[in-house]
Amino acid sequence: MKDVIVGLGERSYPIRIEAGLLAQAGDHLGRFARGGRLVVVTDENVAASQLPALTAGLRGIALETIVLPAGESTKSWAMLESLTDRLIDLGVERSDRILAFGGGVIGDLVGFAASILKRGCGFVQIPTTLLAQVDSSVGGKTAINSAAGKNLVGSFHQPDLVLIDPDVLATLPPRELRAGYAEVVKYGLIDDLAFFDWCEAHGDDVLSGDAEATVEAIAHSVSAKARIVGEDERETSGRRALLNLGHTFGHALEAETGFSDVLLHGEAVACGSALAFRFSAAQGLCSQEDAARVGFHLARSGLPATLAEAHVDASGEALVAHMAHDKKMEGGKLPFLLARGIGETFLAKDVDLAEVARFLDGER
């Protein structure tokens, strides 16, 4: 068992990583069940493929289960209302624990519901996608999407515990595995060239389900995320904003494709990261070689690295318009995560959006 601690004073919590952990879920969750009930919230695909294993692992610990539709559209006001109503109907008390059992969609929605239900209930993350295991289950960003864009309504609400069983990835569709891999590569791009080198050498192993490489990718990623979140929980110092690499472009691509299956979040992040590096190169900040190396690795991992590969044919102006609600916006200016090289990203505060739009037009 590998334990990583997210160090946030009294809100600190462990992330436990071990193959087969689902079968022992009861050992880790028993202490919560003694003080109240466990309510599992999951989606229909996870319910079909992994819920029996979790239920067996909980060995009779009292639990209720709520199954929601799968997909990004579940991060909505309507689902938030329906979920909180159902939790209230079940008589959930603040001493109960809500288990988010699914990918980032379930984790983000359930975390948000837990943060507002009865002014704040405890919750536990049991992530079932690679993306959720390496990124969304850690750090306490919770959200739903609004009509104007991605994650625009949400809260910071840390879980009490994160249980990661890499074996659950056996049933994850390959496209979803690749999408999660984009957020793994992100940690190398941000500040860790050696990890990007590791990704180039072992990314294929992760994508083919090799157990050792998968655990290494997860453990390295959550350690990096825990460190950054511990330094800047609420994204106030600029440190946590590094985790947003590729997301300003990426969220605009997701908005342009209607938050649909045309482009998954991880795919948008892959393309957004490639764009951030090429824009940095175009600005003379980083070498063309590094930008090409990033795009090449993402593309050979089966991820979109160009607008065409992301199925986006919008003008630069239209894409920049989607960025107007980015949460990094400050005084009407939008800071961008740019790069001086692989592993050397920084928050640039003086980017001219007209120049971004021209760059994106050149990418079409």
Ligand X SMILES: NC(=O)c1ccc[n+]([C@@H]2O[C@H](COP(=O)([O-])OP(=O)(O)OC[C@H]3O[C@@H](n4cnc5c(N)ncnc54)[C@H](O)[C@@H]3O)[C@@H](O)[C@H]2O)c1
How far, in Å, are 34, 42, 158, 184, 267 from residue 87 at the CA level? 19, 13, 19, 33, 33
Q: C-beta of 115: minimal distance to ligand X in Å? A: 12
Q: Does 43 bind ligand X (CB under 6 A)?
A: yes
Give yes or no: 289 in active site.
no
266-285: contacts with ligand X (CB under 6 A):
266
Smallest distance from ligand LNCXM5UN to CB 33, Å: 29
Task: Output the six-digit token pair for 354.
Answer: 């007209």
Tell me if residue 220 is catalytic: no
Q: Which of 173, 212, 191 is nearest to 302 (CA)?
A: 173
Is there a catalytic annotation at residue 244? Answer: yes
Q: Which does 240 bind (CB under 5 to 8 A by kind): ligand X, ligand LNCXM5UN, none?
A: ligand LNCXM5UN
* 86 annotated active-site: no
Indicate whether 241 belongs to the interface with ligand X (CB under 6 A).
no
Task: Please confirm, yes or no, whether 178 is among the known catalytic residues.
Answer: no
Of how many residues is the chain composed? 364
**Which H or E element spans position 5?**
strand 2-6
Annotation marks residue 240 as catalytic: yes
Q: How far is CA 261 from CA 13, 81, 109, 218, 289, in A?
A: 33, 24, 18, 25, 32
Out of 141, 157, 278, 322, point to the residue binding ligand X (CB under 6 A).
141
Active site residue 141: yes
Residue 266 site contact among ligand X, ligand LNCXM5UN, none (CB < 5 to 8 Å, cut-off depends on kind): ligand X
241: Cα separation from own chain's centroid: 14
**172 in contact with ligand X (CB under 6 A):** yes
Residue nearer to ligand X on the CB measure, 233 or 290: 233
- The two beta strands, 13-17 and 122-127, are unpaired
What does the block give as tokens for 135? 């990124």
Site residues (vs ligand LNCXM5UN, CB under 6 A) = 135, 139, 141, 143, 151, 183, 240, 243-244, 247, 327
Q: Work out the number of other CB atoms within 10 angstroms of the CB of residue 332.
A: 6
For residue 181, the tally of other CB atoms under 10 A from its CB is: 24
Which residues from 311-330 bind ligand X, rule CB under 6 A?
Answer: none
Interface of this chain with ligand X, residues 46 to 65, rule: CB under 6 A: 46, 49-50
By the rule CB under 6 A, 129 interacts with ligand X: yes
Catalytic-labelled residue, pool 186, 247, 297, 328: 247
DSSP 87-155: HHHTT--TTSEEEEEESHHHHHHHHHHHHHGGG--EEEEEE-SHHIIIIITSS-EEEEEETTEEEEEEE
Which of residues 149 and 166 has its CB atom nearest to ligand LNCXM5UN in the complex? 149
| Contacting positions for ligand X (CB under 6 A) | 43, 45-46, 49-50, 70-72, 75, 102-106, 108, 128-129, 131-132, 135-136, 139, 141, 151, 168, 171-172, 176, 179-180, 265-266
The catalytic residue positions are 119, 141, 183, 225, 235, 240, 244, 247, 251, 265
